[in-house]
Amino acid sequence: MEVYYSDILCIGSGVAGLMSSIAAAELNRKICIVSKEPFSWGNTRISGGVIASNQGPSFFDDILKSGEELNSTKLVETLLQESDNIHDTLEDWGHVYQRDGKHKNKIKPGGHTEARTYVSSYKGISLGNILRMRLLKEDNVQVLEETAVCQILVEGNRAYGAMCFNWVKNEWSVIYASQIILASGGGGMLYAPHTDNMRSSTGDSYALALQAGASLVDMEQVQFIPFGIAEPVGMVGIEVGDTAAAGPYGVLTNDNGEVFLDDIPNQTREAVSRKIALQMSGGTADFRNTVWLDPSANTKEVAGRKAWENAKQAGSLEGLKYAYGAKSYKWKEPFKVVPTLHYIMGGVIVDHDGNTTVDGLMAAGEAVGGVHGAGRMGSMSLFEGLVFGRLVGHRAAEKVTGKRDQCVSKLVLQSFIDNYKKSLSNEKGVYSPFKLKDELSSVMWQYAGLIREEKGLRIALDKVIQIERKAQSLNIDWCNSAYRQVILNTIELKSMLVTAKSIIISALKRTESRGSHFRLDYPNESTLGLYNVRVNTSRDEMNAQIVYK
Amino acid sequence: MAFLTLSIKRKTDHLNEQVAYQVDARDGETTLLNALQKIQTEQDPTLAIRYGCRFKDCGLCAVKVNGKEKMACLTKVKNDMLVEPLDNVPVVQDLVVERSYITDTIIEKGLIPDTKSGETTHVSEEYKAVNKCTDCQVCLSASTLYSHENRDAIAGPMFFVKLAQIYYHPQLSTNYEQKIKDLGINHYKNSEVIPCPYGVPINKLAIAPFLTEE
């Protein structure tokens, strides 16, 4: 067992983790940044690299409108106030935006009423690389790659460290830190294969926060962007794009070729995904029909051809070529689409400095809930990650105290690890975490995805509990290094089970339809006023409660 | 059900051999990555594979297929494929090779852009081209000149591309001359054409501009 000491522990190396680590390192704090995949290999790297900027009087209103006012206005205000110079800073670090001579190009992704979004020179990978390099320039940084954080160590509501497993080295470790920043992103794999997220997006942020004693908000709000690839099997869920990807003249049709939706780019991701889902289900809770995106009318119009050029530049057409062939790639013939899990709006409750209710535990990025309410506009996640990453990094650096809060003997730490292993799987059995993950994600897709109702959500909860039981008897050998990925996936399965439960009980609690959350049995917005759904864990029991705004 | 056979080069602490697996898929029906996932999920959970995004963007799933480097997500599965880990990079287990030395090399060789501040006005095609690199390590595996053991003296094509990202940056201010020496690029003077699944013209943009007369 390795033991590390740091001022600040940052969990996650996507945009929020990198940005907060850079910010804290600039204030001369010692940083330990932990990444479950290779360093800086998160969703940031595979994103489109489009980043909003604080421009125009309508920005605040646009955010709240897309979020159907479930947003925390305090967090949205903070986001705008703290966004000064964010793009200048990135450019100073060497980030390059697409531009037309002197001016950076601006686009208008789904939800925005004006063009205020900049486009990175080469998608998310260019942003990921610039942030990775900028952090590596700092001296006081320790990078622990390919290392999963299993538990936050807490004593009397004070977080003081984390237990980790390096799956490549097959080695357990403990990191002590004065401040811990949770920036381990979202959980698209809860709906696999219907997700465009990285393999590593297994809801770790939410599970770790609950385990540490923090609370979650509006976990039922999970965003499916409307256009994912529907076949072949290995490509299901790969992103085609959001509403803009239909082009101004694209239409959605059913199996009989009848148009059921047009003017797509002027609608939110939430609205289009919901209409596709209802078409797929014929108004029931089961998917039985196919939906086609027919973009062919774009090829006859100037604005339509320009939209194709934009999509080509963004790289989002290549998946179409590979899955469906050249005609679909050129928008000359319709292709099958299915909504795909893109982002979780719900998440950890923090104050405007990024503090959770657990002393020493902070959060930033997709881990956090409340900024986007019930629906997120395009290009807002990188923007949020940059702005809150920087803010939380600064605040964490200010809060670091000289004295070491907790130190536990190695013997005790070893007993923590042994107990943790037992909590994952307490008897040798036959089940594989890979199979149970698949079982879980198909339950979530079927019963807790785009179309929900009480009956289905109750079935989902039962099934999650059944999978939890099976997960207690896995085919796992802690001492055989050939099981390194089995152990990693067991840790992830645990996060996914906790997160799945939090989504299901929140979806049961919200007896209305709002934003990304659609209840077949409550198809309208509640008339009783706006409320958030809050999830806590007390004595190993997870509870959801309504908090009126 | 139609089955096809994949042979996978396995390597664990207890195993070092080629193992044949039957997968229920037809030729070209799905990706090689998906077939590998199926084997891991349905047949042998100890088969170690690495992947991230499932289509093209992350660069994590490079393997050798019938002796040639490929991204598993961009390769359609076919009967009788032989799947092996990349060459020239230490194998962690089965198809998973090491990566964390990449971060160490970036730090040691100082492959970090140090640019003049202020706004860019012109972005060259060369800059765009070298930024497509995903660190997939295919170039290291395919190059006959690269050796992991000797990487301190001669770093390998992927790291030359990182230097090119600095060299073609619109606001270049780093002194890259010393870095050329530190990376040992001259060793690649007569290199064969180095493949890149992402289309980075490595010889043209990341080797040729840095060669010096000796």
Tokens of A79: 């986001």
Q: What is the largest CA-CA distance in chain A?
A: 72
> Complex ipTM, two decimals?
0.97
State mean pLDDT over A346-361.
98
**Chain B residues within an 8 Å CB radius of A319:** 55-56
- 3-state SS class at A11: strand
Per-residue confidence (pLDDT) for residue A109, from 0 to 100: 87
| Number of CB atoms found within 10 A of residue A180's CB | 31
Determine the Cα–Cα distance for residues A504 and A276; give it in Å rounded to an integer.
22
For residue A330, pLDDT over 90 is answered with yes
Question: How distant is the Cα of A343 from the closest Cα of chain B, in angstroms?
Answer: 15
* Percent share of chain A, pLDDT over 90: 92
Q: Is the pLDDT of residue B1 over 70?
A: no
Task: Check pLDDT > 70 for residue A268.
Answer: yes
pLDDT band at B119 (very low <50, low <70, confident <90, very high): low
Q: Residue A383: helix, strand or coil by DSSP?
A: helix
Q: Check pLDDT > 60 for residue A38.
A: yes
User: Which single residue is written with the structure tokens 């013209």?
Assistant: B201
Measure the CA–CA gap between A539 and A424, rounded to whole angstroms.
Answer: 17
CA distance linking residue B195 with residue B161, whole number of Å: 13
Interchain CB contact of B41 with A (< 8 Å): yes
Over range A304-331, report the average pLDDT. Answer: 91
The contacts of residue A214 (CB under 8 Å, 6+ apart) are: A348, A349, A356, A357, A358, A361, A363
Q: In a 10 Å sphere around its CB, with 0-12 CB exposed, 13-18 middle and 19+ buried, how is residue A273 labelled?
A: buried
Measured CA angle at A247 (ends A244, A252), to 5 deg: 95
Structure token pair of residue A532: 């958030």
B212/chain A closest Cα distance in angstroms: 27
Burial class (CB in 10 A: 0-12, 13-18, 19+), A548: exposed
* Gap between the Cα atoms of A74 and B159, Å rounded: 44
d(CA A240, CA A380): 18
φ, ψ for residue A449, nearest 5 deg: -100, -120
Smallest Cα distance from A342 to chain B, Å: 12
Q: What residues of chain B, 62 to 91, have a C-beta less than 8 Å from chain A?
A: 73-74
pLDDT at B120 over 80: no
Q: What is the pLDDT of residues B159-206, one digit of tens each?
A: 999 999 999 998 887 778 889 999 999 999 999 999 999 999 999 999
What are the chain B neighbours of A232 within 8 Å (beta carbons)? Answer: 29-31
Residue A545's Cβ-side half-sphere holds a number of Cα atoms within 13 Å equal to: 8
Half-sphere exposure of A479 (CA within 13 A, CB side): 1
At a CB cut-off of 8 Å and minimum separation 6, what does A297 contact?
A249, A250, A251, A304
Average pLDDT of the segment spanning A466-494: 97
Residues of chain B contacting residue A321, judged by C-beta atoms under 8 Å apart: none
Among B157, B49, B99, B149, smallest CA distance to A143 is for B99
Q: How far apart are CA A166 and CA A1, in angstroms?
A: 10
> Count of CB atoms within 10 A of residue A57's CB?
7
Closest by CA to B111, choosing from B204, B19, B25, B176, is: B176
Residue A426 pLDDT level (bands cut at 50, 70, 90): confident
Residues 147-206 of B with CB under 8 A from A: 165, 169-171
Environment class of A143 (CB within 10 Å of its CB; exposed 0-12, middle 13-18, buried 19+): buried
Q: What confidence score (pLDDT) does residue B171 get?
A: 86
Question: So what's the pLDDT on residue A163?
Answer: 98
Mention every residue, 6+ apart, whose C-beta is less than 8 A from residue A387: A79, A82, A83, A86
Chain A hits for B127, Cβ within 8 Å = 96, 121
Q: Give A430 to chain B, closest Cα distance, Å.
A: 11
pLDDT at A285: 87
- For chain A, how many helices (H) and strands (E)? 16, 22
Q: Which residue in the block uniquely carries the two structure tokens 């990487």? A: B151
Place of tokens 């965003």: A223
Q: Which amino acid is at A1?
A: M
pTM of the model: 0.97
CA distance A306 to chain B (A): 21
Q: Across residues A389-394, what is the average pLDDT?
A: 98
Report the distance separating Cα A173 and Cα A166, nearest Å. 8
Structure tokens at A9: 């522990």
What does pLDDT average to over chain A?
A: 95
Residue B122 has pLDDT above 90, yes or no: no
pLDDT 10s digits, A164-204: 999 999 999 999 999 999 999 999 999 999 999 999 999 99
The CA distance from A131 to A137, in Å, is 10
Amino acid, single-letter form, for residue A251: V
The per-residue pLDDT for range A90-131, each reduced to its tens digit, is 999 999 999 888 899 999 888 899 999 999 999 999 999 999
Mean pLDDT of A41-48: 96
Cα-based distances in Å from A331 to A109, A334, B203: 20, 7, 35
- Is beta strand B4-11 parallel, antiparallel or unpaired with respect to B81-84? parallel
CB distance A319–B165 less than 8 Å? no
**For strand A2-11 and strand A171-182, is the pairing parallel, antiparallel, or unpaired?**
parallel
Strands A541-548 and A222-229: unpaired
Total length of chain A: 549
A317 in Cβ contact with A329 (< 8 Å): yes
Rounded Cα gap, residues A348 and A208, in angstroms: 10
CA–CA separation, A51 and A88 (whole Å): 13
What is the full DSSP assignment across B4-68?
A: EEEEEEEESSS-EEEEEEEES--TTSSBHHHHHHHIIIII-TT-----SSSSSSS---EEEETTE
B29, B74, B115 ranked by CB distance to A94: nearest: B115
CA-nearest residue to A143 within chain B is B103
What pLDDT, on the 0 to 100 scale, is given for residue A127? 97
